[in-house]
Amino acid sequence: DAAAASPSPNARASRRSSSASARGADGATAPTLHPLLVGVACLLLTLLARHRVLHGVPSPLAIDAPDDVFSEARAMTHASVLAEDIGVRVVSTPAMDASEAYVRSEANALVELARRARDLDVRLSTHRPSGSFALNFLNADIANAYTNLTNIVVRVAAREDPSSGGGGGGG
């Protein structure tokens, strides 16, 4: 069968156009990257990014670091007081009251420090929500309710310079 052996004119045109699309205007074939090469490049970029995330962090600063930079040692002092000195803070226990008093005291110290320095606007607010929620744990429905749970919020913002016209770029 000669008709079955020879491709139709449409099939020949389709093959010509698909092979022509891989060729440039001058008829030369465009270089292609081997998939393995692309995979190795992606792996190397991923490993480089991972290394930067894990090891590209600044060194922790000591407790005597300047007040205007974060100090891991100062943060750990507060975490130690809350976790070890005050201990477990379950709702409606004396430890919750002690931790609230500690956080409020430290936050008030920040407010006073900012007031004296006059470069930051630091505000302290307390929110005492009450509510409840339900959850399913191990196929058992549990309802949790809370009353006057204390949230202490410290808002820190740059103080606007009155001579700048009030357009403090903070948005």
Q: Please indicate, yes or no, if residue 50 is contained in any of the structural domains.
A: no
SS3 helix, strand, coil % of the chain, rounded to 5? 45, 20, 35
pTM for the predicted model, two decimal places:
0.57
Q: Please indicate, yes or no, if residue 62 is contained in any of the structural domains.
A: no
Q: Which residue segment(s) compose the domain that 122 sits in?
A: 72-160
Q: Please indicate, yes or no, if residue 52 is contained in any of the structural domains.
A: no
Report the pLDDT value the prediction gives residue 93, as an integer from 0 to 100.
84
Q: Please indicate, yes or no, if residue 140 is contained in any of the structural domains.
A: yes
Q: How many CA atoms lie within 13 A of 155 on its CB side?
A: 7
β-pair partners for 137: 140
Residue 50 has pLDDT above 90, yes or no: yes
Report the pLDDT value the prediction gives residue 43, as an integer from 0 to 100.
96
Contact 144, 135 (CB under 8 A): yes
Q: Give the chain's domain count.
A: 1
